[in-house]
Amino acid sequence: MKTAIALALRLVLGAFWCWAGLTKLAGHFDAGPFLTAAVSRSAAAPEVVRSALIGAIGHVALPHVALVNFAVPWLELAAGVSILLGVATAWGIGTAAALSALFLMCGAVSTNPLLLFGAVVLAMSHPYARAWTLHAWRSPAATL
């Protein structure tokens, strides 16, 4: 039962992150307006979080928005494929959780709380989630 639930969660999260990355790659993705709006939306955050967020966005993300536009879709796609196939699953789950947390801090509240919760639950059930992965067909000696 635990294996089936972990597999379903892994398939849903993996498919979502693949879809998110592919739609950004297929369309015109520009993080600039989102990052600019994130500075104004952070007014409700605690002062420490707000100043760190504004500093990171203003000094790192906005000056290098072309790199952000390139990295975000590819990271989403890579995390989704990793979670779906079960290859480097821990990396994929960690990347998905980090992206969800970053998007949440920038004010994107839509599905990110559920995605972050799903990544945490999947990380906690990682031994069960590995049952139907590409790693499951390797011998135990090959994984050492």
| 70, HSE (Cβ side, Cα atoms, 13 Å) | 4
- Cα–Cα dist 82/95, whole Å: 10
CB-count burial class (<10 Å; 0-12, 13-18, 19+) for 44: exposed
pLDDT for res 19? 94
The full DSSP string for 8-46 is: HHHHHHHHHHHHHHHHHHHS----HHHHHHHHHHGGGS-
Asked, for residue 6, whether it belongs to a domain, the answer is yes
pLDDT, one tens digit per residue, over 26-85 is: 988 888 888 888 877 666 667 787 788 888 888 888 889 999 999 999 999 999 999 888
Instruction: Count the Cβ atoms, other than its own, within 10 Å of residue 109.
Output: 10
Summarised one tens digit per residue, pLDDT across range 129-143 is 666 666 555 544 444
- Decide if 83 is inside a domain: yes
Q: What residue numbers bound the domain in which 126 lies?
A: 2-29+67-137
Domain contains 53: no
Confidence of residue 21 (pLDDT cuts 50, 70, 90): very high
Report which residue type is found at 115. Answer: L
- DSSP class of residue 136 equals G
In this structure, is residue 57 part of a structural domain?
no
In a domain, 112, yes or no: yes
Tell me, yes or no, whether 142 lies in a domain.
no
What is the number of domains present in the chain?
1
